[in-house]
């Protein structure tokens, strides 16, 4: 009796919503999707599940992207079959996940992700089964394996544009949340109460920015309103998950626009606190360096060239590094050890927010270390640096710094010339450096006209995400 009494006094905000239980059905003559344009393996999964007596649909981003004439990066299926039932139907399936259990059906290199319809997460502690659902104190969902109906699944999805279900058998689209309307109006809109949905999973704020950047959409005003206030909730998200999210944000081909949105909605600081502080101290230089790195990264992705997170993180974090290294030098530490010590501290701090794996954090430090070594060219040092496996990434990073306005006394041009020079020309360039060092600063001869900088190798990118 007491339980029913407390339930009757639930917040009116919760009862104010009336989920749509009947979808808008779009027939094949009302949309451009066709079975022939969809992954054959995804169609096989849907067909077999339907023949086994289950409901099954293509859902989410693949439907959205096809409606926008974009090529989906993968195909997801939603069904009322449990993960174990999916595995029973497909010998090539395996069940994964704890927080959110689902099945992966593998066809060679292609994986079709199959998720069971979920219901809205329980709201009260007395309703929750800890084996299926759990929240923390702030309302963030820790475990979400409460299965439900197709209608439940549509209402618990994050954005209206991702709540579209396509049946390749009948070629119909089921639209429970006016997602097609929002696609036509180029809006990213949350389903449900924005504050509550962000508290359930703060990463939805990053997803809103990512979809807006990727698709060229705007975040709908009610969905955008709480983001700045709730952005600090991202600090409670596991750092490994945030690292994955950062890769999605900046390696989607729309990194520059994504960065602008992250700054606009105060989402950059929870991800990169030291860099955000540098951006506030020196917005012109920091913004120019980061933006140029992201522009070049976007260009490489559009050209189909390889990129690496190491160079990307090196650029995102660099603006916070020189001041730390300079402080250590003021305390008497030599330049290279000061750079190494500052780099170690900065990366250790950043790993607390985004768990950068060692396969990336080590190259980051090596790229930064090259910035102190590249000015030291006398004797045999220049040739030794050329043979260093990190030279190319370090050289590309030097050009990035110069493009952002850093004064390096023509260092980038010198290294460009040195790489193209013959052995005799290289020796002359080294002798010229020695003679400059011996002259009073006012008598030093300026170098001649600017020469074209060396173009990137197939795996490198000046100012972009250089190949590892």
396 an active-site residue?
no
The Cα 468–Cα 460 span in angstroms is 8
158 an active-site residue?
yes
List CB contacts of 333: < 8 A, sequence separation 6 or more: 341
Report residue 109 as tokens. Answer: 């290199």
The Cα 183–Cα 167 span in angstroms is 19
468 an active-site residue?
no
The Cα 48–Cα 39 span in angstroms is 14
Of residues 65, 144, 153, 158, which has the active-site annotation? 158
Of residues 65, 76, 153, 417, which has the active-site annotation? 76
Q: How many CB atoms lie within 10 A of CB 37?
A: 11
The Cα 1–Cα 466 span in angstroms is 65
3-state secondary structure the chain: CHHHHHHHCCCHHHHCCCCCCCCEEECHHHCCCCHHHCCHHHHHHHHHHHHCCCCEEEECHHHHHHHCCCCCCCCEEEECCCHHHHHHHCCCEEEECCCCCEEEEEECCEEEEEEECECCCCCCHHHCCCCCEEECCCCCEEEECCECCHHHHHHHCCEHHHCEEEECCCCEEEECCCHHHHHHCCEECECCCHHHHHHHCCHHHHHHHHHHHHHCCEECHHHHCCHHHHHHHHHHCCHHHHHHHHHHHHCCCCHHHHHHHHHHCCCHHHHCHHHHHHHHHCHHHHHHHHHHHHHHHHHHHHCCCCCCHHHHHHHHHHHHHHHHHHHHHHCCCCHHHHHHHHHHHHHHHHHCCCCCCHHHHHHHHHHHHHHHHCCCCCCCHHHHHHHCCCHHHHHHHHHHHHHCCCCCCCHHHHHHHHHHCCHHHHHHHHHHHHHHHHCCHHHCCCCCCCCCCCCCCCCCCCCCCCCC
Report the phi/psi class of residue 407: left, alpha or beta, with left for phi > 0 and alpha for psi in -120 to 50.
beta
Catalytic residues: 74, 76, 158
């Amino acid at each position: 009796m007491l339980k029913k009494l407390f339930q009757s006094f639930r917040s009116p905000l919760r009862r104010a919503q009336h989920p749509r239980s009947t979808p808008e059905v779009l027939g094949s003559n009302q949309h451009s999707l066709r079975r022939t344009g969809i992954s054959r393996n995804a169609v096989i999964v849907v067909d077999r599940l339907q023949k086994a007596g289950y409901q099954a649909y293509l859902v989410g981003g693949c439907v959205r992207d096809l409606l926008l004439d974009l090529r989906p990066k993968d195909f997801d299926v939603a069904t009322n079959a449990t993960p174990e039932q999916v595995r029973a139907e497909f010998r090539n399936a395996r069940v994964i996940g704890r927080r959110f259990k689902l099945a992966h059906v593998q066809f060679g290199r292609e994986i079709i992700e199959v998720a069971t319809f979920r219901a809205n997460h329980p709201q009260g502690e007395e309703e929750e089964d800890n084996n299926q659902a759990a929240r923390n104190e702030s309302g963030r969902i820790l475990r979400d394996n409460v299965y439900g109906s197709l209608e439940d699944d549509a209402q618990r999805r994050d954005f209206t544009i991702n709540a579209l279900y396509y049946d390749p058998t009948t070629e119909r689209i089921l639209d429970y949340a006016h997602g097609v309307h929002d696609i036509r109006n180029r809006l990213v809109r949350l389903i449900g109460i924005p504050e509550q949905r962000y508290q359930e999973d703060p990463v939805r704020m990053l997803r809103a920015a990512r979809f807006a950047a990727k698709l060229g959409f705007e975040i709908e005003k009610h969905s955008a309103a709480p983001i700045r206030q709730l952005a600090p909730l991202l600090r409670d998200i596991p750092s490994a998950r945030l690292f994955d999210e950062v890769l999605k944000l900046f390696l989607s081909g729309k990194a520059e626009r994504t960065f602008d949105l992250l700054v606009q909605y105060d989402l950059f600081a929870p991800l990169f606190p030291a860099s955000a502080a540098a951006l506030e101290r020196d917005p012109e230089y920091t913004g120019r360096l980061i933006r140029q790195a992201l522009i070049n990264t976007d260009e490489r992705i559009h050209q189909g060239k390889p990129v690496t997170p190491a160079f990307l993180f090196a650029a995102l974090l660099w603006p916070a590094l020189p001041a730390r290294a300079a402080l250590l030098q003021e305390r008497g530490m030599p330049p290279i050890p000061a750079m190494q010590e500052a780099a170690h501290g900065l990366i250790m701090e950043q790993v607390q927010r985004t768990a950068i794996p060692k396969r990336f954090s080590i190259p980051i430090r090596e790229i930064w270390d090259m910035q102190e070594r590249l000015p030291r060219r006398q004797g045999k040092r220049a040739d030794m640096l050329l043979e260093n496996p990190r030279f190319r990434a370090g050289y590309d990073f030097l050009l990035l710094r110069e493009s952002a306005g850093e004064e390096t006394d023509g260092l980038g041009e010198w290294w460009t010339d040195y790489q193209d020079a013959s052995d005799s020309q290289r020796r002359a360039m080294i002798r010229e450096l020695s003679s400059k060092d011996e002259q009073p600063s006012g008598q030093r001869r300026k170098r001649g006209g600017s020469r074209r900088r060396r173009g990137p190798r197939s795996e490198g990118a000046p100012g972009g995400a250089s190949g590892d």
